[in-house]
Structures are given as C-alpha cells and as structure tokens.
Amino acid sequence: MAEITATMVRDLRDATGAGMMDCKKALVESGGDMEAAIDWLRKKGLSAAAKKSGRVAAEGLVGVASAPGVAAMVEVNAETDFVARNEAFQAFVAEVAKLALSVGEDVEALKSAPFPGAGHSTADELTKLIATIGENMTIRRARVLKVGQGAVATYVHNSVKPGLGKIGVLVALEGPDAEAAEALGRQVGMHIAATRPDALDVSAVDPAALEREKAVLTEQAQASGKPPAVIEKMVEGRIRKFYEEVVLLEQVWVHDGESRVKAVVQKAGLACTGFARFQLGEGIEKQVTDFAAEVAAQAGL
C-alpha cells in the first residue's frame, strides 16, 4: 500500500475543498491514487464545497456567547436566508461563538481550532456543512470583549434563537456589581443596535473622518458669508452635533429621549470600556440575479 503523506493530503484538500480527515481516508481507500481519491470524494458528496467557494455569501447569522467577565460574537455567512433557519447551521454558529470565548477573535485561529466533539478542525466542520447544505459559507469575523470586574453584556436583535440573529451587540461595563452591569449592558446593547455608533468616546473618533466632517462643515458655514469668528463658532456647534450622532457616550439615550448615555452609565456607578456591533452582511457587495433567467439558463432554454 502506498504511503499517504501530509503533502498528498494537502494537495487533495486544495483540489476538492474537502476536510483533512476525509482527504486522508479517500487516499487510503484509493491506494494513494489522486484521481481515484477525487472520484471517491465526489461520490461521497464531500468535494462539493470547492464548487461553491466562489459564490457570494452575505446572509447567515450573527451569534453571541458569554461567560463571567467575557463575551464573544461571530458572523457566519451563507448564500441565502433560508440557511439561517437550518438547525445544523444554527448549531454551528452557536458553537463557533462559544469557541471564540477561549480561542479569541482571530478568524484563522478559530478555523484551525478543534471543533468540539468532531475530531477535526472548525474549518473542516464548515466544509462538511457546506457539502451537506449545498451553499457556500464563511466565518467572516469575530470579536471578544473582556472586563476585570463587571460584565460584558450581549444583545441580539430579532433573534431566531437565543444568541442568534441578524444584529448582535457586545457591551463591556466595568464596575463592582456584575448583575447591575449585565442589566444595564443589555439596555445599552439595544441602544447601540438602534443608533449604530462608530466610536465609544470622542477620543476614539477616526481622525480622518473628523477632518472630513470639519472640512464639509467649514465650507457650508463659509457659504453664509459671516465673519471668520462666527464661522468658527458655527463649526464647533456642528461638530458637537456630529459627536452626538457617532459617539456612543455622547448620544441621547433612546430609552428616555433626553439623557446622555454617559450620564446613564455614570449614574449606575459603571464605566463603559468598549462595545461591538455586527450587522449581518454589512459591507458585503451582494450579487443581484434574475431568478427567472437563472432557472432558464440551468434548463438550457
């Protein structure tokens, strides 16, 4: 029997997209013959993932998981919203979110990590899921927040199951009372889901974005024909309004419509040290297809 080397397994995996263990088994079953191994995988339906890897995956789910002092959030994409209702896909997203609690937010590390109870990597588990469901899928991103004391609260908007939905939020609140931090954190999470802030505080605003905003506001103010000193005051006022729109702690609290978020947090004896918001598919350019034309093309019409 031919020796099955790591290089052979890797080459077969590159050619088919199948999992590492499946590739090794295919080579063993085919006596090391690469073409026969490819055929073996095709017959088992395990090479299907490679054919789907070029498709745009902009649907799927955002998943969150938490433990004392830490919480994680992941986005796993698929091609259609239908897959988000698939129980196997939901279970996979939930497990990857839990895995991120210990592995961290590096996506490549997550893919390489052993998938719980499977005997292979998370990437291999995803490949098997792709072959089973029949759509391209990707682990797109992950985020992990931690606190020394307090809580990292989670919130999922319009959840399909606990911890799974299309918008997810993490909120890190430091303070002596973990229960209070958890309760307020969920409210802050709801606020963030609705208002989409870009930065935690004024110091965290992207300098380039701030300069662009100042340039636009200055040009608008200059069009008024007012003196430079007045224009400067106008720009300062509009920059404060800009901060109220994009900075979490400067925003008006959506739950009462008048307080500032920073005042609500301070009143609770807490400090907000970070947040993250994932909205499913944001930033992915979706393909627009003519379904009728697609069906006709497949039918050869």
Same domain for 137 and 266, yes or no, is: yes
Q: What is the rounded distance in angstroms from the CA atom of residue 22 to the CA atom of residue 38? A: 11
Range of the domain at 236: 206-246
The answer to whether residues 87 and 189 belong to one domain is: yes
Q: Along the chain (301 residues), what's the average pLDDT of each consecutive run of 10 residues?
A: 81 75 87 84 63 61 97 94 92 98 96 93 92 88 97 95 96 96 97 95 89 82 80 82 92 95 97 96 62 47 41
Q: Do 241 and 260 have their domain in common?
A: no
Instruction: Identify whether residues 123 and 97 lie together within a single domain.
Output: yes
- 85 and 73 in a common domain: yes
| pLDDT the model gives residue 301 | 41
**Same domain membership, residue 182 and residue 257:** yes
Regarding whether 266 and 129 lie in a shared domain, the answer is yes
Residue 240 belongs to domain with CATH number: 1.10.286
For residue 300, being part of any structural domain is answered with no
Does 193 share its domain with 96?
yes
**CATH for 32:** 1.10.8.10
Q: What global pTM score does this model have?
A: 0.74
In the block, residue with structure tokens 């939020």: 169
What pLDDT was estimated at residue 234?
83
293 within domain boundaries: no
| 34 within domain boundaries | yes
* Same domain flag for 241 and 255: no
| Total number of domains constituting the chain | 3
3-state secondary structure of 217: helix
Closest CA to 55 of 125, 135, 132: 135
